[in-house]
Amino acid sequence: MSVRFPEGALKVLGPLFKPKSVAVIGASATRGKQGNTAVRYLLKGGYPGNFYPINPGGGEIEGVKAYKSLAEVPEPVDAALMVIPAALSAGALKDCVANGMKSMVIGSVGFAEMGTDEGRALQAEIVAIAKAGNLRIVGPNTNGIFNATDKVSLGYSSAYGDDLTPGPVSVAAHSGALFNSLAPRLRDLRAGLSKFVPLGNEADLSMLDFLEYFIEDPDTGIIGLIIEGISDGDRFRTLADAARQAGKPIVALKLGRSKAGAGATEAHSSRLAGSARAFDALFREYGIASVPTVEALAGACGVLLGTKTRVTNTALVSVTTTGGGASMMADFAEARGLTLAGNPDGSWSGKVAEFIKTLEGAGVVRNPTDTGVIGGQENMTPLFQAQEADGWIGPTMVFTHPLPNLKGSQIVADYLIGRAQRTGSPVVVVAPDGLVPELRDRYAENGLPFFRDVATGFDSLQAYYDTIPRASRAVEPPSAALKDLGAAFAGKTGFLTETESAAILKAAGVPMVESRTVANEGEAIAAATALGFPVVLKALAPDVAHKAAAGFVIAGIRDAVALKEAYATLEGRVNSAGSKRGDVSIILQPMMAAKAEIIVGVSNESPLGHFLVAGLGGIYTEILDEVVLLPIPVARATIRETLVASKLGRLVRHIGGDAALDQVTGALAALQGLIQMHGDKIESIDVNPLLVGETSCIAVDALIVPKKG
């Protein structure tokens, strides 16, 4: 699999991750300087290749011969770390090209991240030099690159000097400083780090390039991403699918989740979507685990490493050493939508119930199970075995605390380790009081991740559920009949009017209310008589996207007298708003009854692509902020299942049953078909509101915003 590199990412980035020789440009003999720290960390890490410190003064640095320039180095260098002032970087890069160097990590600052024309120009210059010399760049404005598997610690932040156990976790990050937080936690979990790449400015190599490398890398089994944004949504989707097919789960920590970036747009759908929600939808569709903290990122990797098999029955078994802990675990599981093993009321049946009957003096045994009610900890293993015989072999969440003696705690560890070994499913241990080192190490050595807080434990366990492989579903191709609709976008620079939008959407398969354009009061009365009262009048001004907010919608008109008055009022509002009456169309529609109003639409979240949007609609769309988001393309069955699982879908189903749910699903599928055929022309679509009735759904307003340019 190769997306960017025809010769394969392993070959292109091999000199960076597995260099036969390295240099530090800007190496220093002065302790505390980055150029000295990087030298010491490389040596401490046991790098096995040839190492060339570069310093104009020559001499020795940390016992290694230093060279005054790359020209003195006796061989081409595979990779180097540059820690010199940005102003000197262009000249140094030319020396690197002359040396035949293949890869460069630029730790220097002073480039595009400064936000200045000078910084951007300097970055463009180094990229041009590197491109001409076939030299790949990490950064600039990064703090190094780390490969524990091959003992390449080429960086200067403190984590580069840690003793890290090599393992299968590789991470690409838009925040290099988080390495210092992530690495110790991975070490505690025995998760084992293979590679860490802080990306800096991504002037050349991007997160997606390293994601591609990790997918191909035989030493990487789990991929971590610390993401601010990505440059190519289509490529990200392709790589995410490739990672899934390769059996390499991705765990993502999305930074910058606030709504501040949503801004003002013409379409409600775009404001409802937002980049954070779009990332969440993309993660969900492609089986990427999403975590809220760096602790949960490490924890999720620990959980996934502790997953030896994937089982069909993923219901959660929970065990606690305290009654209060049992209630807490049940609350957390319910809040996160996790199904608990056993009966819905927490009781047991089958072989588990039979075993419970054999326990003398046992209390009521439920899930979560308080070990204090089963007559002794020695009963936990046979209880687990009874659960497993009934098919309850999914994950286990444990809430515990230090017992009065170490032996008791070790017995708890025995039955939990046994459970993990028999089922192959993860067993997660939470102990807010902490555990003595002997127990902590024992859990870690046996692949049972340990946490000091319940929330992080559940955040980490969620990765197991997020990354469950799903059956591949075919996406329906768009109807060939939609091809002819492309002419409707020709020459359009702003949003399409409601009548223009409705005509396109009706042809695509969205149920639209009938509209009639009326030029005067007489035509309005004739149209209302034909369609039937009550009716709605709307003024369509070329510069007004949201008619209701401008007062350009009058609803509930019940007779001819009220219609005449409404028509005159609407014309007055148009004139008062400064719109020319000749540029404004007035349309009349029958007023439709509804039990609920929802919005369906499409948002273009650049560069992630188009997304289907559904939410509670009408004038409260953004206030209520109840939203379903799905990346395009997506299987129709997935659209329906996602709606069923949402509050929005439950509302629709409550009002109109499966028939109404199917119609909303159909409307979203119709919008998807339109995007599949004409997505290059469409920025966003609003169908707001789509009225949900007891027998049918129908849209009474629409807005299509074409792409600019």
pLDDT, tens digit, 9 for 90 and up, residues 582-626: 899 999 999 998 999 999 999 998 889 999 999 987 666 666 678
pLDDT at position 377, please? 79
pLDDT at position 293, please? 95
Structure confidence at residue 261 as a pLDDT band (50, 70, 90): very low
Among the ranges given (84-88, 129-133, 432-436, 678-682), the one the predictor scored with the smallest mean pLDDT: 432-436
Q: What is the pLDDT of residues 657-681, one digit of tens each?
A: 999 999 999 999 999 999 999 999 9
**Residue in 105, 88, 96, 172 with CA at minimum distance from that of residue 140:** 105
Q: How far apart are the first and last CA of the chain?
A: 34
577 Cβ neighbours under 8 A, 6+ residues apart: 541, 544, 550, 551, 552
Using CA atoms in the order 260, 261, 266, 269, what is the torsion angle rounded to 10 degrees?
-90
What's the mean pLDDT when you consider all of the chain?
Answer: 92
Among the ranges given (149-153, 310-314, 374-378, 647-651), the one the predictor scored with the smallest mean pLDDT: 374-378
The packing angle between helices 350-357 and 380-389, to 10°, is 150
CA distance 226 to 240: 15
Percent of the chain at pLDDT > 90 equals 79
pLDDT at position 221, please? 97
pLDDT at position 696, please? 85
Among the ranges given (142-146, 324-328, 670-674), the one the predictor scored with the smallest mean pLDDT: 324-328
Structure confidence at residue 264 as a pLDDT band (50, 70, 90): very low
Looking at 100-225, list the stretches that DSSP marks H as alpha helix, in order from N- to C-terminal side: 117-132, 179-188, 207-216
Contact between 201 and 140 (Cβ < 8 Å):
yes
Q: What is the pLDDT of residues 30-61, one digit of tens each?
A: 999 999 999 999 999 999 999 999 999 999 99
Give the chain's radius of gyration (CA, Å). 31
Structure confidence at residue 470 as a pLDDT band (50, 70, 90): confident
CA distance 250 to 256: 19
Q: Say which DSSP state 706 is in.
A: E
Tokens at 579, concatenated: 């719109």
CA distance 603 to 314: 34
CA distance 148 to 534: 73
Tokens at 283, concatenated: 């993660």
In this prediction, residues 301-330 reach a mean pLDDT of 93
Distance of CA 689 to the CA centre of its chain: 28
pLDDT at position 163, please? 79
pLDDT at position 535, please? 98
**Residue in 499, 620, 615 with CA at minimum distance from that of residue 549:** 620
Predicted TM-score (pTM) of this structure: 0.92
pLDDT at position 2, please? 56
Among the ranges given (23-27, 92-96, 333-337, 623-627), the one the predictor scored with the smallest mean pLDDT: 623-627
Place of tokens 């994601």: 211
Surface-to-core class of residue 664, CB atoms within 10 Å of its CB (0-12 exposed, 13-18 middle, 19+ buried): buried
CA distance 590 to 595: 16
586 Cβ neighbours under 8 A, 6+ residues apart: 517, 518, 519, 524, 537, 538, 539, 540, 567, 570, 571
**Residue in 475, 477, 501 with CA at minimum distance from that of residue 683:** 501
Q: What is the pLDDT of residues 529-543, one digit of tens each?
A: 999 999 999 999 988
CA distance 467 to 52: 43
pLDDT at position 56, please? 96
Tokens at 490, concatenated: 């020709």
CA distance 90 to 97: 11
Per the DSSP assignment, residues forming a β-bridge with 512 are: 699
Per the DSSP assignment, residues forming a β-bridge with 60 are: 65
**Residue in 592, 596, 593 with CA at minimum distance from that of residue 650:** 596
**Burial code of 588-602, b = ≥16 C-beta within 10 A, e = fewer?**
bbbbbebebbbbbbb
Per the DSSP assignment, residues forming a β-bridge with 629 are: 613
CA distance 608 to 611: 9
Contact between 611 and 672 (Cβ < 8 Å):
no
In this prediction, residues 243-260 reach a mean pLDDT of 87
168 phi and psi, to 5 degrees?
Answer: -95, 5
Domains recognised in the chain with CATH numbers: 9-256+275-300 (3.40.50.720), 306-466 (3.40.50.261), 514-591 (3.30.1490.20), 596-706 (3.30.470.20)
Q: What is the pLDDT of residues 541-578, one digit of tens each?
A: 988 988 998 999 999 999 999 999 999 999 999 999 98
The yes-or-no verdict on residue 269 having pLDDT over 90 is no
Q: What is the pLDDT of residues 393-407, one digit of tens each?
A: 999 999 998 777 788
Structure confidence at residue 4 as a pLDDT band (50, 70, 90): confident
Query: Which has more pLDDT, 471 or 444?
Result: 444
Contact between 331 and 337 (Cβ < 8 Å):
no
Strand, helix or coil for residue 654: helix
The yes-or-no verdict on residue 96 having pLDDT over 90 is yes
Q: Give the H/E segment covering residue 193.
A: strand 193-198
pLDDT at position 401, please? 82
Beta strands in 262-314 (DSSP E): 289-291
Q: What is the pLDDT of residues 483-503, one digit of tens each?
A: 999 888 888 878 999 999 999
In this prediction, residues 185-197 reach a mean pLDDT of 92
